[in-house]
Structure 1
């Protein structure tokens, strides 16, 4: 088939392919040898074009060079970001998958690359089927214990993202036996973190215990790949529990501690600023809240983030405008956020946003409107979030009811001094200290 296609090529087409086969391997080798050239997001389109060139010569490109190029591309898009001028994200994703297919056909291990492709896909849609397909394929392609654990833990988190808690725990059940092996002990921090996530929305006490175990297991081996990020994420969720318990200063400290251990992925950095802003909007100063909201927005934009992260940030902007008394802007922010969550089929995020809209409706004294909103919230919860286990469902409903009431009541703390943000950044203009 390939020979017939080659013979059918015109002289011009053959010359173009020959020129590409001569030019692109050299350019790709130079890019891989000098990754610092792509430390500026504005240079990402050049890297994406190199990936497209690699697809043209994929049959003759050495597998090691293809692997290195994919590694550079993923590292750049996830930690440096893409230019605001870059719009070819779908084409980039197709190029990535075409190159992974070629590597797999040569017998090269591809499970880790598939997980990186799934992380890229999550920028646009957490619950997208193509993201899940990549993760399933990564599980199937795993060859070592480490690869299988990494893929199963990613599977668990992706299932939690779409409220499939049974699916998340099924992946973790398979993981349990693997992480008990002495050679896999360094995975225990991430395993406990994923267990905590699977219980976060129904059993906070149990979830907190797993997050604390994650920190305890991870701290002695922070130098191992992935461990510091697992500990950072667990500290992040312990901070959220502290905030839900009214320990706002402690929550801020935990967020900052977690950020100091976090990897360089832009999405994690954006969530860090969003969570700081969430507390500062209600319990800090307007200036510090505005600073972290702007930093979160800037970071998500740099990451080309289009998924539910933007919807969640829109909810925090809603809180900010409610605090400053700009009800029109609050209405715009929450409406756009709800639209985004529905587009991404993010039922859990929409429930959070509906609580914020209810606050807005009460401020606007639109006393008849909440009935429709509450009916929508009840339907979403019953349809997508409620656990099928009756005991778990009862406990989960009580947790959700408490959280919903807290969000509706949320507002600036009466009296007392506002909290001071402990992040160490310059909140009053000028260059931010990282």
Structure 2
């Protein structure tokens, strides 16, 4: 049974404060997504190994998020609340990792720090999804996720543009010296680590949480769920009890996140090869290509920030699943079109379509899912839902390198086209999803 607590309507600034930590979280993810392949390549990684080295990101998400979701569901402190302790701890660890990442001197060091950084980001991120379900009535949940998406877009724009900003306006060197990471990337991570910590701290200090409706019952249930065996049974046993809507969304998520993983891993080598005409990571042209990928990712982040406020309006006039379908098809076609773009300026055009898809990926599935989940299991199921974000990335990480080498003749841009096709398929599969909150209203 779903038990609903009457929750007050929150103002714009209350929504802003409770979501602002996502601005910093996306700083971390954007710097990671834009620069990790560049860092690995600079430290000597082969293109067909990049996807394998990126496996740290989805695997840590798969391991961390359901556990953090379960723990946060069973946490309550009169001062810190339920989710905010995890926001804070994750942010501090992520900031430390972001200072370490650009100082890696060997490939294995960078891979290890990626494991640490992504684990910490996931500790912070998962409770933010449940935070919306905790604090907002169903009528405000789409707006809450849209606010998160807006701040994710803003953080992504600034973080993605930082290396080019340091190059063009601060005179910082963008060329590797003795195989080390360029100074532009190092300074970007230092700045990002600071922003991450401060943004999450803002949410921790300005947002309060709603206590359990029956605190005595909550404490008793917490005591019953405190054993390790009980916790593991709860975490993994839930797969057999998933709401139907969650199963349907999982299929859509599979194809969406294969596409996104392919884009994050292979855009830098693709653009360096097709537009900057080099495959040498030590060359100035390759590093310039890396900066331009930051601009491209900044564009899709900026578009997603704007689209975040338009999509809920369109969803009210049509439906959330229809909007998600259209956005994914637009994003997939845009990703496929990159192979035909001859100049760096024109590369920004398909990023507009990718930004529309990204805004929907961050908003619509979670808004649809929140309406189908029991309130007392919101963190757990939101964490479990992350399995359907990371499993496709793990499969892509294992498979895409071999596909690139054996079928695409090491032409990375063809992996982007494959990703675009997957996104289109994901969009069409959205038609099978039941939006329970809408259909029962």
Q: TM-score range by the shorter chain?
A: under 0.3
The structure having more radius of gyration, on CA atoms, is 1
Larger relative contact order (CA 8 Å, sep ≥ 6):
2
Q: TM-score, normalised by structure 1?
A: 0.24
